[in-house]
Amino acid sequence: MSASLVLSAVREMLIAALLLLTPFLLAAILTSFVVGLLQASTRINDLTLSFVPRFAAVMLVIYLARSWVAAEMVGYVERAAAAMRAILG
């Protein structure tokens, strides 16, 4: 197994991980931004007020994106298994 094959596999794994995490991170960031603006405008500084909406937004995105994430993961595992079969013979 050459170094270029290993680097290619690691690169594909990192791209897949970033692609799968992006919707959840965006939901958390956007929710935090909106709640931060709300807290700044009302001068309410409560930790629960920032945690609960962010948690709810991420859970909503998990619910809405579950089939897409599952399909992407199955595709990645299939590509990785095919690559391993090609390398091992």
Q: What is the DSSP letter of 89?
A: -
Q: How far is CA 65 from the centre of its chain?
A: 10
pTM over 0.75, yes/no:
yes
State which amino acid sits at residue 59.
M
pLDDT tens, residue by residue, 6-45:
888 889 999 999 999 999 999 999 999 999 999 889 888 8
Q: Own/partner pairs for 78-83, CB < 8 Å, 24+ apart?
A: 79/12, 80/9, 80/12, 80/13, 83/9
pLDDT tens, residue by residue, 38-89:
988 988 887 778 889 999 999 999 999 999 999 999 999 999 999 888 888 7
Give the pLDDT score at 56.
95
